[in-house]
């Protein structure tokens, strides 16, 4: 059954959207007209340019409300979702013990020139995140957090040396797509050395989605608010899947 | 815990002045009634519905009586007599009258004791309407308690009551404690209460009893889901103040916008009519325990908020005195004020604090209604959002009662669902982060804030002195409030005012005023 | 010469736009995907759905940054602009005296069920706006401000009776296009009575633009921030134009 | 006007402890130097430019000396000798050395007096570099004065210096008083200062002397347009602290991020290297009157802001003591702290006020650098905007010096032009509306805020006691700051540290330390 949807302001399907942007023009009636024309090219009608403000010589900032024309069919929308049961600390440990009969070995860190470790620390360090223990705390997980700015080569060597089951990489800086650069570099390196299939590869970070991670060749991607137990659940679920 | 040291003698004196002003007006009120007071009596007696022209029956009946020239005796006795004659209930009797099958001029058929008794019985039923509503609200609050003050008040205004419910659900989900359904523009100028559920309003949704019920049901569900009693607010002010109060009593409304002067100033409704109507409407509110909100905040949308701060204070004192004359207790007095100072004034926030603390000090037990910035809101919604954030801070710092949530799109349109969410997020953030701030601070003795509060009180006192001398009606004629002048005989609705005849009866009013 | 422009974030022509809107769907990965797909239909790419928040059962609010594709040619943009010199109080009075040799007669008010008078008061009342005197203060202008909620018929009758040169209408409430309704009603009424050309017709209000006013058949439209002296300047300029 | 009553004896005691800690480290510093200290000397002597591999000449020359095994005598004397030999200026001499036409090992050719004199002359030139910069800045400020505090500090970070200028112009137009050009990620880990204008950085723009000049020119123009001196800020911390300070002195920078421990904790730079480098860099700052900003705010991004508030205080005291050891005066001490408490904590704002007032009370004459919320910023930019608005309020209330403008898109991306505008609008609004608030209020004696400030000071004092006993390096090894542990021999750049030989000369340092 079709489920056509549009943005909602205060009347179903009114299409109401708020936009703000800057145009490289000097403020004035022509600038406001330009903003309106521009927004009309974005498939909107009933365009109100409600605010125009000079913010530098030759630059004007606009606030716009407008009604979007398109309607999409929600029934056709599919998200790339991870499939795993979110288990708790005890269940996960028990399951690892049962399946592997040895600790699950995980190595993680922030690669490239990214120095943000708070995210990977939240997942790996004892303390964990939001009352949820980090992987280091799991008796059945051997977790090594290498820290930040780890060159990809070093990460791979470490994984090989320590017989890791999974490599966890964190990326926070996304300016000029630097996260994609680094994540791709790691995959390429693993590919080149024929190691890609040896490891579960997880990416995470504020702007990482599962969809993006899959697209880049990772096994899973984790965004904001991820709990360590989710990561651990996914790891053991995947390992059981692979074993089967 | 008033933070601002204010001379208690000066407070007593100002309150005394306000009482004298109110009492003067009360003398006038006591001798007069209005079509809408009479219609309210009918509604409380159980008359509802409309005729084939969509005219509400209460209007039809009062019109009939007026056409007969018998209005100055009031509707109660003729209607009681018609009921005695018909032997039917109030609604059926009214329908018969409307259809011409029964006349309203047959008082002579019954003995004065018979009529007295019938009227008294009807009036007691009317009182029960109010008491039952109060009891039902109590029961709801016992299950889902009231949240701590300041109460987060949000408006819905789509024009369509069902769409309003959708918006109200969202507001409740995000934290609203009170939902006000804004009325369609100019409803206050129509001299009847529209009937049934409505879906077409401009800038708001018609206040009808059916709409009240629909929203109350929605909020009852939301209250259970949220575990806090979410109050319903609507607007009484206008040509139907008392009638709307009656409808509100039927439908368990918690709060009504109800000001003794708003209609005069902002709707150009005749002042005599307004004073008469507000009194009866407030009697109803007092009995049904409907909290009233007054509209002093509006003054600052037409007059400058620094220059005219004292008019707000003076008006609050007058509103309070009139409310007390109608039996309203402190806990029901949502006296209004606002955060409306031009943000370009240096130290605007200090002025705001002074004004807010003064109100707090004058009415320590009243759940003050604090209005957000509106007039100086920018079409840059980010800037407006900051203004609201400081307003939220002022509100929680100074322990306000009812917090009208400022909306970042105030200068643009009636709020969209997401606007409301964004705005209440700011309220939630600030209230949590600064909950105890007011209790941590003291204002410097003789500092700017303390001096400013004192200055406003001095000016208010002077205005009250003058108002007492000239009379309130005359002072309004001179434009003392909101920079707006209204003549005593001008404005809408004067034709609905009449002097009570010697034979005037209104046993509901008598009971409400404790006279029988 | 062509002047192609696009929104500017931090690199020329990056097309960066901020959007926010609500979709009538329950929050979750599918909802986020729907937001992304929706924005893609608005002619954007590199869409980041940076925030998704449930704001009611079945409603989710989204914050999005994305890069707009279109580029428009600024050299082709023309705004409907009023043409008049902004004169001061004294010049205007002198000019009226000189041209008309009688006071300029102006009637104004807020029509329909709109009760907002602050705007028209700002233009007409003594006090004026932002340190700029209102029309009532001009010795050479007879200005009658009728106030709010004036029925169109009444406004027209008043203008006829008082031999007005100009009618000034204010409209603030725009919900369900009520301003357009009222402004059109007035024009239709004047048309029907053959009076349209007798008066200079000015519209004003927070959401009134000159362009809109012209479209509706008015002589000029004034938006937020208008000063009384601008209105007076326009009036006398137009009157001189008509006389010529 | 410290608002919080703090025991002055306790302050004196804490400052004494910090001084003892700093003096301990100073003993180590005095005996050591680093490659980057030597390179700074060369820069101040007038050596600039790069070789055919893009290696800066200061690096090449120090490398050559190191390869000869002569580094522990310092670069000054061999270089003076080379100049005597070549008879050319510093730059030309360096080029000849780089090209192998001149050696750095010929000290013996000249008498010790000749060498002393040449070194002394070079050092005096170096001092003039700093003094001239100071004079130029003074002249600019005389024409376009400094605005009142808190100074509105905004960042640009496009990666392209020219695009940065466009953004900086916009920021200045909207009210910025200080512009910081954020560095490309990981520049602090490269052991040289890149050369020339650059247009490709990640998350920021390379700090190069040419980039400094380009931005300074832009801001000079903006200062004239705006009628206030707009300061330029860049980052010293990292493997090139002292060199960047030297470059900054050439290009009239007003402010440098310059912390005695940031590099250790947040960049894993070796602590010995960092302590040595920060000292020389600060000597330069003190002479060129470059205000330093320390980085205690960073601790609260990795550690909890309530639990670790005292580490900020302790670190400020240590940073202050070390800065004083390098001759920096109070007016040049932009000690850092931050508004980073989880907004979900009840009364988070009260904690923030307590922390901000404590800093204010401890360092009454320092232009404290106050960082906005970053860690708990939401991707809902409206919510984040509210957080910044309360931060702005806290800043102006507590009279902070340098106000890092919080950006509503903090949790998303480096600021777009419009983000910066929206954010500074909030600052302008709050600063104007609440300018005098701090002077109007008093904190309740024994209230939450006063007690909290006292608690933090007590904890800081205890940490300083422990640090004094164990030594600063050991305390860092234990993870006392920012929840981060760093070993004494670990981290980057240790290889660049050397013990001063008996023949070590550094006449610039001698002059800066007042030893000659
Ligand atoms: C803290 C912080 C810092 C600290 C980092 C300290 C440290 N040791 O990590 C310091 C101050 C050092 C810093 C420096 C810089 N930062 Co910074 N920083 C932040 C800040 C404020 C918070 C990030 C954070 O800690 N979030 C909390 C954690 C818990 O969330 P998270 O990372 O998303 O992690 C969760 C999930 O994503 C997931 N997850 C994360 N990783 C992984 C990995 C795996 C395998 C899995 C399964 C899950 C997972 O699980 C976590 C828990 O739920 C953000 C702004 C913000 N509010 O987001 C800017 C921010 C990230 N920084 C930014 C920048 C640009 C920088 C600098 C480059 C600036 C500069 N030029 O100097 C520098 C240099 C850093 C570098 N070279 O990388 C930008 C990035 C812009 C962009 N999108 O490209 C931001 C967004 C600020 C901004 N608006 O400009 N920063
Ligand atoms: C003050 C105010 C009121 C006051 C009005 C008092 C009065 N006597 O005017 C009160 C409290 C009574 C009020 C009531 C209502 N209001 Co009201 N109100 C406002 C408010 C806060 C400010 C408007 C204002 O005074 N601006 C200042 C003046 C100076 O600006 P201005 O009108 O734009 O005028 C300038 C120019 O536009 C121009 N101009 C204006 N008119 C003319 C005419 C001519 C000829 C010329 C040349 C120039 C000109 O010159 C002026 C000076 O520069 C706005 C929100 C806001 N911040 O904008 C809401 C707002 C306008 N109100 C609104 C609404 C919905 C209502 C109500 C309908 C709500 C309700 N259902 O009860 C009621 C009923 C009013 C009615 N029937 O019309 C909405 C309108 C939404 C929409 N776009 O449709 C707004 C935007 C608030 C909101 N976000 O919901 N309101
Ligand atoms: C006391 C009071 N009554 C009524 C109203 C609204 O009335 P109306 O429906 O006439 O706009 C207000 C508006 O703010 C008010 O303050
Ligand atoms: C004192 C100090 N120095 C330097 C930096 C930035 O250095 P880097 O370029 O290493 O990120 C910061 C960051 O906030 C800082 O606080």
Collapsing DSSP to helix, strand or coil, C149 comes out as coil
The string of pLDDT tens digits covering residues B208-235 is 999 999 999 999 999 999 999 999 999 9
Q: What are phi and psi of B142, to 5 degrees?
A: -60, -40
Specify the domain boundaries for CATH 3.40.50.280 within chain A: 89-243
Question: Is D108's pLDDT higher than 90?
Answer: no
**C104–chain B nearest CA distance, Å:** 26
Instruction: Note whether B404 and B370 are within 8 A (CB).
Output: yes
The string of pLDDT tens digits covering residues D370-418 is 999 999 999 999 999 999 999 999 999 999 999 999 999 999 999 999 9
Of B95, B125, B155, which one is at a domain's C-terminal end? B125
B192 tagged catalytic: no
Ligand 4 centroid to Cα of residue D314, in Å, is 19
> Whose structure tokens read 């030597």?
D38
Considering just the CA atoms, what is the radius of gyration of chain B in Å? 23
**B262–chain D nearest CA distance, Å:** 30
For residue B189, tell me if it sits in a domain: yes
Collapsing DSSP to helix, strand or coil, D153 comes out as strand
- CB contacts, 8 Å: A59 with chain D: 170, 417
d(CA B363, CA A123): 53
pLDDT classification of B106: cutoffs 50, 70, 90:
low
Is there a single domain that holds both residue B93 and residue B197? no
> Whose structure tokens read 């600039």?
D48
How many residues can be counted in chain B?
516
The parent domain of residue D86 ranges over 33-125
pLDDT classification of D106: cutoffs 50, 70, 90:
low
d(CA A98, CA A96): 5
Q: Which pLDDT does position A34 carry in this prediction?
A: 98
Could you tell which of D295, D323, D333, D336 is best to mutate to test the pocket of ligand 4, judged by most ligand atoms within 8 Å of the CB?
D295
Specify the domain boundaries for CATH 3.30.30.60 within chain A: 1-77
Ligand 1 centroid to Cα of residue D267, in Å, is 14
Residues 6+ apart with CB under 8 A from D117: none
> Whose structure tokens read 């904590």?
D345
State which H helix or E strand residue D167 sits in.
Answer: helix D161-174
Region A58-87: mean pLDDT is: 96
CA geometry: angle A192, A194, A200, nearest 5 deg: 110
**What order do you get walking across the sheet with D255-257 strand by strand?**
D333-334, D291-293, D255-257, D231-235, D178-181, D151-156, D402-404, D369-371, D336-338
Contact at CB, A21 and C70, closer than 8 angstroms: no
A1-77: CATH number: 3.30.30.60
Closest Cα to residue B284, out of B327, B342, B223, B335? Answer: B327
Is there a single domain that holds both residue B399 and residue B304? yes
For residue B454, tell me if it sits in a domain: no
CA geometry: angle D469, D470, D474, nearest 5 deg: 160
- CB contacts, 8 Å: D376 with chain B: none
Q: Which pLDDT does position D484 carry in this prediction?
A: 84
Nearest ligand to the CA of D153 is 4
Q: Is the peptide bond before D150 cis (omega within 30 degrees of 0)?
A: yes
Instruction: Note whether B159 and B202 are within 8 A (CB).
Output: yes
Is there a single domain that holds both residue D108 and residue D63? yes
What HEC string does D272-338 produce?
Answer: HHHHHHHHHHHHHHHHHCCEEECCHHHHHHHCCCCCCHHHHHHHHHHHHHHHHHCCCCHHHEECEEE
For residue B26, tell me if it sits in a domain: no
**Ligand 3 pocket residue status of B133, Cβ below 6 Å:** no
CA geometry: angle B295, B296, B300, nearest 5 deg: 120
Closest Cα to residue B398, out of B154, B152, B150, B176? Answer: B150
d(CA D4, CA D13): 18
Who among A34, A81, A211 is closest to C74 (CB)?
Answer: A34
Closest Cα to residue B280, out of B55, B57, B500, B49? Answer: B500
The string of pLDDT tens digits covering residues D468-511 is 999 999 999 998 888 888 999 999 999 999 999 999 999 999 99
d(CA B234, CA B252): 11
State which H helix or E strand residue A213 sits in.
Answer: helix A210-215
Contact at CB, D443 and B440, closer than 8 angstroms: yes
Collapsing DSSP to helix, strand or coil, D324 comes out as helix
Q: Which pLDDT does position D219 carry in this prediction?
A: 98
For residue B418, tell me if it sits in a domain: yes
Of D449, D471, D500, which one is at a domain's C-terminal end? D449
Q: What are phi and psi of D330, to 5 degrees?
A: -50, -40
**Ligand 3 pocket residue status of B155, Cβ below 6 Å:** no
Closest Cα to residue D207, out of D157, D163, D169? Answer: D157
For residue B23, tell me if it sits in a domain: no
pLDDT classification of B399: cutoffs 50, 70, 90:
very high
Dihedral (C-alpha) D258, D259, D264, D268: value to the nearest 10 degrees? -40
Closest Cα to residue D37, out of D320, D290, D265, D274? Answer: D274
- Token pair for B469: 């001398």
The number of the ligand 2 atom at minimal distance from the alpha carbon of B409 is 89
**Ligand 4 pocket residue status of D206, Cβ below 6 Å:** no
Is there a single domain that holds both residue D158 and residue D118? no
User: How distant, in Å, are the alpha carbons of A44, A49, B363, C16 from that of A69?
Assistant: 5, 17, 52, 20
Output the ligand 2 site: residues, CB below 6 A.
B 157, 182-183, 185-186, 203-204, 266, 298, 301-302, 374-375, 377, 410-414; C 108, 113-120, 122-123, 129, 168-170, 172-175, 202, 204-206, 222-226, 231
Contact at CB, C51 and D378, closer than 8 angstroms: yes
B162 touches chain D (CB under 8 A): no
Q: What is the DSSP letter of D56?
A: B
**Ligand 3 pocket residue status of B259, Cβ below 6 Å:** yes
d(CA B298, CA B275): 18
d(CA B197, CA B159): 11
Region D309-316: mean pLDDT is: 97
Q: A224: nearest CA in chain D?
A: D379
> Whose structure tokens read 């130097």?
D33
Q: What are phi and psi of A8, to 5 degrees?
A: -125, 125
Taking an 8 Å Cβ-Cβ cutoff, which residues of chain D contact chain C? Answer: 158, 160, 163, 167, 378-382, 411-418
Collapsing DSSP to helix, strand or coil, D225 comes out as helix
- Token pair for D341: 């408490």
CA-nearest residue for atom 13, ligand 3, is B295
Pick the CATH number of C89-243 from 3.40.50.720, 3.30.870.10, 3.40.50.800, 3.40.50.280: 3.40.50.280
| Total Cβ atoms within 10 A of residue D85 | 15
Instruction: Note whether D279 and D263 are within 8 A (CB).
Output: no
d(CA A101, CA A90): 15
Ligand 1 centroid to Cα of residue D302, in Å, is 10
Contact at CB, D440 and B429, closer than 8 angstroms: no
State which H helix or E strand residue D271 sits in.
Answer: helix D271-288
Question: Is B1's pLDDT higher than 60?
Answer: no
Strand partners, B122: none
Collapsing DSSP to helix, strand or coil, D403 comes out as strand
Q: Output the CA torsion sign for C43, C44, C49, C51.
A: negative
d(CA C156, CA C164): 10
Ligand 3 centroid to Cα of residue B237, in Å, is 6
For residue D276, tell me if it sits in a domain: yes
**Ligand 4 pocket residue status of D259, Cβ below 6 Å:** yes
Question: Is B20's pLDDT higher than 60?
Answer: yes
Is there a single domain that holds both residue D199 and residue D262? yes
**Ligand 1 pocket residue status of D301, Cβ below 6 Å:** yes
Interface of C with D in 57-96 (CB under 8 A): 63, 65
The string of pLDDT tens digits covering residues B182-196 is 998 879 999 999 999
Strand partners, A143: A106
For residue B25, tell me if it sits in a domain: no
Contact at CB, D350 and B436, closer than 8 angstroms: yes
Q: D166: nearest CA in chain C?
A: C10
Q: Which residues of chain C have pLDDT under 70?
A: none
Contact at CB, C65 and D412, closer than 8 angstroms: yes
A56 touches chain D (CB under 8 A): yes
C8 touches chain B (CB under 8 A): no
Who among D167, D378, D379 is closest to C10 (CB)?
Answer: D167
For residue D469, tell me if it sits in a domain: no
Q: How many domains does chain B have?
A: 2
Collapsing DSSP to helix, strand or coil, B428 comes out as helix
d(CA D5, CA D444): 10
Closest Cα to residue B300, out of B338, B269, B247? Answer: B338
d(CA C121, CA C147): 8
- Could you tell me the pTM of the whole model? 0.96
Residues 6+ apart with CB under 8 A from C158: C107, C144, C146, C164
Of D394, D423, D449, which one is at a domain's C-terminal end? D449
Residues 6+ apart with CB under 8 A from C231: C123, C135, C168, C202, C204, C222
d(CA B302, CA B83): 49
Instruction: Note whether C24 and A22 are within 8 A (CB).
Output: no
Closest Cα to residue A227, out of A82, A128, A140, A109? Answer: A128
Is there a single domain that holds both residue D110 and residue D215? no
Contact at CB, A70 and C16, closer than 8 angstroms: no
Q: Which pLDDT does position B455 carry in this prediction?
A: 97
CA geometry: angle D257, D262, D263, nearest 5 deg: 100
Question: Is B374's pLDDT higher than 70?
Answer: yes
- Token pair for D74: 């310092």
Instruction: Note whether B245 and B256 are within 8 A (CB).
Output: yes
Q: Which pLDDT does position C244 carry in this prediction?
A: 81
Question: Is B121's pLDDT higher than 70?
Answer: yes
| DSSP-derived pairing of the beta strands A141-145 and A104-110 | parallel
The string of pLDDT tens digits covering residues B279-324 is 999 999 999 999 999 999 999 988 899 999 999 999 999 999 999 9
Question: Is B2's pLDDT higher than 60?
Answer: no
């Amino acid at each position: 059954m079709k489920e056509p949807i549009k943005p909602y302001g205060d009347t179903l399907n009114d299409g109401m959207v708020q936009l703000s942007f800057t145009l490289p023009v000097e403020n004035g009636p022509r600038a406001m007209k330009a903003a309106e024309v521009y927004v009309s090219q974005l498939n909107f009608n009933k365009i109100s340019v409600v605010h125009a403000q000079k913010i530098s010589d030759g630059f004007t900032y606009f606030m716009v409300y407008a009604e979007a024309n398109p309607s999409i069919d929600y029934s056709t929308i599919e998200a790339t979702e991870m499939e795993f049961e979110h288990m708790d600390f005890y269940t996960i440990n028990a399951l690892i013990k049962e399946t592997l009969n040895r600790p699950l070995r995980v190595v993680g860190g922030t690669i490239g020139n990214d120095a943000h470790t708070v995210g990977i620390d939240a997942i790996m360090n004892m303390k964990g995140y939001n009352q949820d223990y980090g992987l280091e705390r799991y008796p059945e997980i051997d977790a090594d957090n290498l820290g930040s700015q780890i060159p990809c080569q070093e990460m791979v060597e470490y994984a090989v040396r320590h017989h890791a089951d999974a490599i966890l990489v964190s990326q926070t800086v996304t300016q000029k797509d630097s996260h994609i650069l680094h994540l791709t570099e790691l995959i390429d390196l693993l590919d080149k050395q024929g190691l890609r299939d040896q490891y579960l590869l997880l990416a995470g970070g504020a702007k990482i989605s599962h969809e993006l991670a899959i697209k880049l060749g990772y096994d899973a991607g984790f965004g904001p608010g991820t709990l360590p137990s989710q990561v651990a659940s996914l790891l053991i679920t995947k390992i059981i899947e692979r074993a089967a | 815990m008033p933070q601002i040291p204010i001379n208690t003698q000066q407070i007593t004196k100002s309150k005394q002045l306000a009482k004298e002003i109110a009492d003067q007006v009360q003398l006038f009120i006591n001798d007069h009634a209005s079509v809408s007071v009479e219609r309210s009596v009918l509604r409380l007696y159980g008359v509802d519905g409309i005729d084939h022209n969509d005219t509400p029956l209460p209007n039809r009946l009062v019109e009939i009586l007026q056409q007969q020239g018998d209005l100055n005796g009031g509707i109660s006795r003729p209607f009681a007599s018609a009921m005695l004659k018909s032997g039917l209930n109030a609604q059926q009797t009214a329908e018969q009258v409307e259809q011409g099958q029964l006349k309203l001029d047959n008082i002579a058929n019954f003995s004065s004791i018979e009529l007295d008794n019938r009227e008294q019985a009807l009036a007691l039923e009317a009182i029960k309407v109010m008491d039952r509503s109060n009891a039902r609200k109590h029961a709801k609050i016992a299950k889902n308690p009231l949240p701590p003050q300041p109460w987060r008040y949000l408006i819905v205004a789509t024009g369509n009551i069902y769409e309003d419910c959708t918006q109200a659900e969202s507001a409740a989900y995000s934290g609203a404690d009170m939902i006000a359904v804004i009325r369609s523009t100019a409803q206050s100028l129509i001299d009847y209460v529209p009937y049934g559920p409505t879906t077409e309003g401009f800038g708001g949704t018609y206040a009808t009893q059916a709409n009240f019920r629909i929203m109350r049901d929605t909020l009852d569900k939301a209250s259970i889901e949220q575990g806090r009693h979410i109050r319903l607010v609507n607007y009484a002010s206008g040509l139907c103040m008392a009638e709307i109060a009656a409808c509100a009593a039927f439908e368990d409304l918690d709060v009504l916008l109800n000001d003794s002067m708003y209609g005069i100033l902002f709707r150009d409704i005749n002042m005599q009519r307004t004073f008469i109507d507000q009194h009866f409407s407030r009697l109803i509110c007092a009995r049904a325990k409907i909290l009233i909100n007054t509209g002093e905040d509006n003054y600052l949308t037409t007059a400058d908020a620094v220059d005219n701060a004292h008019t707000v204070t003076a008006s609050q004192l007058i509103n309070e005195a009139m409310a007390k004359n109608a039996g309203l207790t402190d806990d029901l007095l949502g006296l209004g004020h606002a955060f409306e100072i031009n943000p370009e004034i240096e130290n605007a926030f200090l002025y705001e604090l002074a004004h807010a603390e003064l109100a707090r000090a004058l009415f320590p037990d009243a759940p003050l209604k604090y209005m957000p910035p509106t007039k100086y809101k920018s079409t840059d919604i980010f800037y407006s959002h900051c203004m609201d954030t400081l307003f939220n801070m002022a509100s929680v710092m100074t322990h306000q009662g009812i917090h009208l949530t400022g909306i970042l799109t105030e200068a643009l349109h009636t709020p969209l669902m997401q606007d409301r969410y964004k705005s209440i997020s700011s309220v939630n953030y600030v209230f949590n982060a600064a909950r105890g701030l007011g209790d941590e601070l003291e204002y410097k003795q003789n500092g700017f804030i303390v001096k400013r509060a004192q200055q406003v009180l001095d000016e208010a006192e002077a205005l009250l002195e003058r108002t007492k001398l000239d009379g309130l009606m005359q002072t309004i004629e001179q434009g003392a409030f909101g920079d707006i002048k209204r003549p005593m005989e001008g404005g809408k609705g004067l034709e609905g005012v009449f002097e009570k005849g010697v034979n005037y009866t209104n046993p509901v009013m008598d009971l409400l005023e404790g006279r029988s």
